[in-house]
Structure 1
Amino acid sequence: MAVPNMSLIRFNLPVNVCIFLIISCVDSCFIPGFIYSTVPQTLPVGHVISKMDHCDTKKWQFTTNDPNFTIQPDGTIVTVIITMVPANGRQFSVLFQDPSGQKGVMKVYLGQKSGKVLKDGPLKRFKRRWSPLPFNIIENDDPPFPKNVELVRSDSSAIRPVYYTISGPGVTEGLFSVDKDTGMLLVNRAVDREKTPEFVFQFRVFDIETNQETDEPLPFTVNVIDVNDNAPTFTGPLRFTVLEQSKAGTVVGIVKATDLDQSGTDHSKIRYSLLSWNDLFFIDPETGVIATNTDHLDREAKDTYLVTVQIQDMNGAGNGLSNTATATVVLGDINDNPPTFTKSTYSVTIKENQEGGLILRIPVEDKDMVNTPNWNSEFVITKGNENGNVRIECDPKTNDGLIYQTKAVDYEKTKNLKLEVMARNQAELNGTLSRWESVPVDVSVEDVDEGPEFTAPTMFLSVKENTPNDTLIGTYIAVDPETKSSAGISYYKVSDPASWISVDKSTGQLKIANTVDRESRFVTNGMYNVPVKAVDSSLKTGTGTVIILVEDVNDHVPDVPSKLLLMCEEHGGVMGSVLVLAEDKDQSPYSAPFSFSLGKEHDGKWALNPLNDTAVILKQAQELRTGLYPVSLIIKDLQGFGKTQTVTVRICHCRNGACLPQWSSTSLGARAILAMMLALALLLLFCITFFCVTKNEKMEVEAIGGMLLESNIEAPGNDNLNRIYVPSSGLHQSVKGSVAGGRLEGVKKVTIGGALGSQQNLLQQSGGVLQNGLSGRYVLTRGGQYVGRQCGSGILDDHVFLKLNSSPAWSTWLTTGNFLQEKLAYLGTVEERQYSEDIIHQYGYEGVGSPAGSVGCCSDQGNQEDLDFLNTLGPKFKTLAEVCKQ
């Protein structure tokens, strides 16, 4: 409240109340800024504190903030109940408002008569000569300046000349000053309470003559009275979000504001109000909380509201200062709108036998917020897709449904698809009674001229192996899908690797073309596949598959794959034994279990012990020497089919269960082996040339053990080769000396007989010499000419028999020569190719022999101690056999 022309007046009241009244020109009502009253400790009811003169209480409004006191209509302040005044005093305020609406406050301070004063009161005890008390000034006072604020005087000024000084905040800045002669406090410009609500000064008084202080310094306070010069301002954000369709009373947000005026007064008491959208929102006038005013906020109708908010001080009074701002209220989305189809039905046409590709796009609309689970659609085919011909997806950009074809449709079987498609959102519906929508989709299938189709994609036929050729096993036909007729359709095989089946071009009949063998490599798990193609008149094709289930027949007998068996000789009283394993290519019940028995010619030398369904143990029944023994075995399958088979058992010396090499000697190289072969050939020629025998007299010589060894030629051997017959008498001449360097003298004619056929003159020699050659080779040199004729009956012509001197090499030389002689005769009487088949082989190939035998370029590298090469000299001696035939 502006109070112009303030002056300070001092009153001395009977009740010792010091009152400084502010004389106002408004209706002559004198209201002091404060009242200090000394009262007893206990105030009875109706005790008068003070009285405000010349104040029309009908025009002026007075209230107190202490219910123990009241103001009567004549302006008297009295107690209404018994009130205690503490030792440190008591205070309360009188609030008033003038007829123009201006408000003010008057402080009332009460102190006990004991002389104690209020601790926090505006007055302190000073020397009595200081007259001023705390006082107030109004902020933002109007010019002109400077203005008198208060007259401060000391009683000492009455007895001597003095001057006054002032110090403190505001003085050095020139805001306040003092008239040094009179003590009048001056304000030089307007004061802003929001910057400095009070000023505390130090007044001093000095004797002009002595410059000595006449009183103690006087501290006093100047309070700046607030005026409502600041409008409230917004301090917080004004953007709020609330879900659509929220219930009425749902909090939207809080509007925050502040006022720089004095707190606790109406100048800073803010009241909130909305100037727009009051039908949808309301705001609490005291707290600024905005809430919904309806249940029907619809984001799809309007998603953002700009609400005007007003804030006004003076608690909303008409004379208060105000401010406005726009608060933005955004409605959050809920899934209250399901996706809807733009059409009530959809249709599309596809071609039969077509696979893959987009066939239909189904757009939908959704009012909810885009690219959120409330808007994103999901599609489901609820009917008509039982065969999985199509699938549906969602286009993430457009939210459309996309129908793709995944399986070809046959027009002859399905002419249309009746689909039903449902659209829904990723989020469940909320705040609505709507349901997910569905739409029918009609997919028509367009007929296409297509190739023939077989009555079944795959036909199974059972055929026994070895079925006769030209046997009809079935008919595989195709029909035109449109006409259901087989007319004009031709049939062809796509593949038939074994060439077992023939297909009739016109009828599709399937016949046996070649012998079916279940054991063929073309049969897998008993099945043989023949893809077949059908071609109509328009050259359109269709394919099918005939699967031949080959039934087994008993067309194989058990067989021992290894015909050479190794057996250790008797050792420590234990007879040797060997495992005999048989195989049958047939399947059960035409194969195992097998029955094993010995042939009739086993002579009690062998015995069999059963082991399992496919094997027995062949063991010696009596002690046998080392060597090769043929053993006949009768092996039959479960049906009793079988044959007699001969296996060769080699009994050998063993060490650690393995046969030892037959000869233990220095290892020979390839050249040494070739030298031995040449020497043996020369020995054979020497034997043929110089030995003769009598026709009927023979001498039986046993072959030296170990000379006949196993070879790699698999064929029956010559059982006669182990016995060589030579003359037993008729020795007429002998050659003295060793084998090396021996000289043959007086020989005219030599013949060899026995089991070799007719008599033959083998050698006509004059002065023949057998001499030692290089590297241990034996070379026969002769001066005569070799003549070969038809052999005789085995009689020694002229009874001449050559005998070498007794030397270590004689028996070996003799036996080897006789063996080669017998083999040469045998080779001259057999078939062209059989010379290589009379030797036992030990490999798995079950075909026929090779005319070249088993000797290769490097066959002698395997075991340089093995003399099996003696059994593979057939091709080299073919010429000699031809000579002998003559």
Structure 2
Amino acid sequence: MALGVLFYCVSLLVVSVECCVPKSIQAQVPVEIKPGYIISQVPVVQCQIKGRQVTSSDGHFAVQSDGTIVAVGDTTVTAQGKTFLLRGEDKSGRRWRMEVHLSPEPDQGRIQVPWRNRFAQTGVERAPSKILRRTKRRWSPLPFSIREEDVPPFPKDVELVGSDSSVNFTVFYEIRGQGVTMVPLNLFSVNRDSGMVRVHYRVDREQYPKFVFQAHVFDRRSGIETDLPLDITVLVEDINDNAPTFSGPLNFSVFEHCRDGTQIGEVMSTDRDQENTLHTKVRYSLLSGGEFFTIGPNNGQILAKSSSLDRETQVIHPVIVEIRDMDGAPKGLFNTATAMITLKDINDNPPTFRQTSYKTTVQENKADVLILRIPVDDKDEEKTPNWNAKFVINQGNENGNFRIDTDHKTNEGLLYVIKPLDYERAHAVKLMISAQNEAPLVDPKATWLSVPVDVNVVDVDEGPEFTTPNLVIRVKENTPNGTLLSTYTALDPETNSNKGIKYYTVSDPGSWISVGETTGELRVANTIDRESPLVTNGAYTIKVKAVDSSQKTGNGTVTLLIEDVNDNVPKIVPGTDMSLCEGDKGHMGSVVIKAEDSDLSPYSAPFHFTLPEGNDGKWRLTNIKNESAVLQQVVDMSRGVYQVPVRVTDLQDKGGVQVLNVRVCGCVAGECVAARSSSSVGIWGVLAMLLAFLLLLLLCLLFVFYCTTKADKIYLDDSSGGMLLKSNTEAPGEEVKSANLQMFSDTVDSSLKSPGLMGMMDQSKGVSSAPGQLFSQNSVTLRESMYQTKNRQDFYAAQNGASDFYANNTLMKQSQASSTLSALHTWKTNGLYLDKKVGYLVGVSEERYAGDTVRAYGYEGEGSPAGSVGCCSDFGDQDNLDFLDSLGSKFKTLANICTEKK
């Protein structure tokens, strides 16, 4: 019944604590109450009660932090029952009290339930007598809590843990995990018998906000766990042991003269204590700078308090800011820092002049000269648009004689004269100059300052000046020579007279105008032609100068605007030679005629094209436009050139007959074939001609090479197949002449020198043979007489004989030839080539056949296996020719040439 009243009261929560906490509760309990037995529960959460400050009048009972009323010692309940009081206070400090009435249960077999567990099945049932009844549960504890940085002595009790298995077994408890067997080690321990958890030293919540470890229960006899392990959570209750700290930048900026309430910046802070508590609720305040700034107590926003912030007075404002937790309570922890507030510049100060007026002088006729520097001061920030000055001439510069710039280094105004001043016109000029900034003034009512400047003009002696700098005269072209166009005179500005002034022409490209030296009269000197290249857009310019008695000069310009006259006739362009494609299948050919006239309208186009009277009727003009017409055939014409007269006149009917030379030709792709063939040779034609020339040159070189090579070849024997060629590849070792070759050469030479043969040659002077000719058929007889010896001994014996023998033998053989003259001429030619190709082996000397003299041979890298190849060794044993088989490859080739192959 008491528990039902408790839950009823909790469900009807009101503001009053007396209504939230019942004045008394009743509960039925066993007669024998063991430690850990749960009696009931106080609604500490719903009524905002400080559970750890609830006290019991009976030491056998205690109230945990969650409001659970639990037995902490053995006690007995008599039949009359047992009563004790619970006292405490709520969060606002109001005190309360509640009576707890215990009565013995009628059923003593009920099992004790020591703890409530949020992970176990729980239930509450109402008895008819409204006495609270509880169902069986396993583990009991909710999260425990300990106080951060708790003060000694240690250890201190935390809470009891209990298991339902203690009813059936004699158990003991152990805890493991964080704070016990894991870092931080040995912070918690448990009483093995009672299950009381203890804490052994102080804890920092900012380092360990909570601990989770496991509770185990074991049977004392068997050592076996009698229940499943349970996770125990121990929360560390926060204390205000950390002062708030600044976490953001403390440098802010704002424009000067900003409005009241302008947000400047926000001060940021952090607190390591538990969030959403008074320990972390920070209040902001300013310890200095309150006359210009304010700060939001809860959000830290700094605001401008006054619009009188002036950067020119103070640029940076240091402001001391305090942050204090516990919502600013005096006992709260705090920190201070200095925030720097910089005022940004605005253009609230115009430039000011250092003087109230300025004066300066300048000579007349001077230009592009600096005459004055005007300094200014500005309080705004330097080198910014609010400080950079620009100057404006408000008055006195109507003629554009002055210009004022800014010196960006000194911020001064630079006054220049850009157009010469004339003393005779004005002795002084008064200017009004204002100084401004690149940026506009913030205050729209403020104005820029101005200063007067007096410019005095200094008189100088100057040359004459023409009445007008540029005299414009209209004149028609072809105006007769000597015609007076105008008078161009000058005056001395000092005397305002033209006395003593003379005039001269400075520039007259066409010499069209003459200038009177003393009068300044402008007369036509030569024909004025508007179509001249000297005329630009119908204007012709002349430069004239005037010189006074002091030789000072003044310049003037005369511009002739030339009016056009009809002095040109239309001309057909680009010429009178034209080409026309002959007609095809009844279509007559045509050509476009274009004309042009140098005159302007109305003396030029549109032109009138006509065929003069008496034309042959073969042509007609069609499609006549402003400057063109189409000349078309009327009848078919053969190809050729035709002369066609055409009369062309301008708009004033001025013109004449022009004869066109029209070529009628066949066309391909609209192009006249004849014209195309007569055109210049293109690049491909030039390349083709060059290629043909190169081929011809190559062919000539081939013929020369062929003829030269053919002359160098001399066939010695039909059976041997060898020939003598030039050998320029090696030293004298390759050109060794054996005695055999020497005898052969001498034989030919002697044969040619014999009287009989020479006589026959004299008779055959009329017979000619080409140089380099090979042995002819007539020369075979001689070769056969030389090489058809029966054996080698006869051949060598013939070599040892006199040359006359060979000569006579040769003549006798030659007499048997059928063509004597041809053979003689061939022998002469072959003798010359043999002498050139073979040469003498020994050379010309007194002992012509002394073949055993010492000779130099080229070194070929190794000794010859055949020994010496001189004349002595060659003829030492004429019967034994076996040495030829032991000669090298080069000497075998020589032997094959000199000996007859069997």
Task: Please classify the TM superposition score into its range, dividing by the shorter chain length.
Answer: 0.3 to 0.5
TM-score, normalised via structure 2 length: 0.46
Q: Which structure has greater helix proportion? A: 2
Instruction: Give the TM-score normalised by structure 1.
Output: 0.47
